[in-house]
Structure 1
Amino acid sequence: MRKIILATTFILTALGSYAQKSEIFAPGGKAIKGYDVVAFFKDAGPVAGADSLSYQYKDAQWLFANRANLDAFKANPDMYMPQYGGYCAYGTSQGHKAPTETDTWTIVNDKLYFNYNQKVKENWSKKRDELIRKADTEWPLIKDKQ
């Protein structure tokens, strides 16, 4: 019994450590909570992806609503990937990773951004350009950290 508890503790610690260091915001292993990132550009909003239309990229499973979106992502993932791995743009500008909600999306200069919640998005929007510059500087320092 003791060995099982120790093994379980080790596995949970390892998984927790991995999740905290993930470059991509991927609760449950699904990038952007399973939403189709291409749809933000093509459909102007969040569209849930399907498990049957998935692609493994940067240690996360990316889901898509249709084959065309999957193919578009595979052809040029950097074009569709959210900035800062899908973590909160405001939080990144402050030097830390924070989870996001899909309804907080914004596209600026053909780049996809998310925020923690609508209130944070509202604050981020007031100084958006300045905060994007700060986040661009911070991201390389924090992307592999908790």
Structure 2
Amino acid sequence: MKLKTLVKATLTSTVLLASSMSFAANIEVNANANDLAIKGYDAVAYFTESAPTKGSDKFTAAHNGAIYHFSSAQNRDLFKADPAKYAPQYGGYCAMGVALNKKLDTDPTAWHVRDGKLYLNLNAAVQKKWSTDIPGYIETAQGNWKDIKGLTVGQIAKVYE
């Protein structure tokens, strides 16, 4: 094999690997097809307003491959200063779902802040079940998240069939 061909093959392989790794990072965050997290709700407002608040595309920040919207520049700046403090747990997937080894979508109005962390749930009914043992479900979800965070929904289904 010629050196030039070997270099091209190596470069191509490197680009493909980097591309697939960047895709893998995105499966750790629950975002829509446009990479929008929390369906456009302001992650900081759950803490500062104690309410789900729709964000605006005028105030955005990127974190872990997703785009977050905020209701104000101040909230955006708070998020940028410490995204881990405000971003929802488990990449914004349903906390109860993670406790059950699943990656489920969420309803931004089904939320709970506990010990300074934001947890989202699939819907109000799931949140009601989650509320029956929040510490226990968090403990279970913490362990499960380590195993499923880098997996697609399809991969999780195959592992837990």
TM-score (norm 1): 0.84
**3-state SS of paired residue (2:53):** coil
Q: Which amino acid aligns with 1:114?
A: L
Query: 1:52 deviation in Å?
Result: 1.6
Q: Which amino acid aligns with 1:96?
A: K
Residue 67 (structure 2) pairs with residue 61 (structure 1): yes
Higher normalized contact order (CA 8 Å, seq sep 6+, divided by chain length): 1
Matches within 5 A, 1:43-122: 43-122=49-128
Cα distance in 2, alignment partners of residues 56 and 114 from structure 1: 19
Matches within 5 A, 1:16-35: 18=23, 22-28=27-33, 29-35=35-41
Cα distance in 1, alignment partners of residues 84 and 62 from structure 2: 14
Cα distance in 1, alignment partners of residues 82 and 96 from structure 2: 26
Query: 1:128 deviation in Å?
Result: 1.1
**3-state SS of paired residue (2:29):** coil
Cα distance in 2, alignment partners of residues 82 and 39 from structure 1: 12
Q: Which amino acid aligns with 1:64?
A: F
Query: 1:102 deviation in Å?
Result: 0.8
Query: 1:22 deviation in Å?
Result: 1.4
Cα distance in 1, alignment partners of residues 142 and 40 from structure 2: 25
Unaligned 5+ segments in structure 2 are 1-22, 153-161
Cα distance in 2, alignment partners of residues 126 and 55 from structure 1: 34
Q: Which amino acid aligns with 1:134?
A: T
Query: 1:140 deviation in Å?
Result: 1.3
Unaligned 5+ segments in structure 1 are 1-17
TM-score (norm 2): 0.77
Structure 1 segments of 4+ aligned residues over 4 angstroms from their partners: none
> Aligned residue pairs: how many?
130
2:147 is aligned, of 116, 138, 141, to 141
What is the RMSD of the two structures over their aligned residues, measured on CA atoms? Answer: 1.7
Cα distance in 1, alignment partners of residues 93 and 110 from structure 2: 11
Query: 1:79 deviation in Å?
Result: 0.5
Quick one: percent identity of the two aligned structures?
38
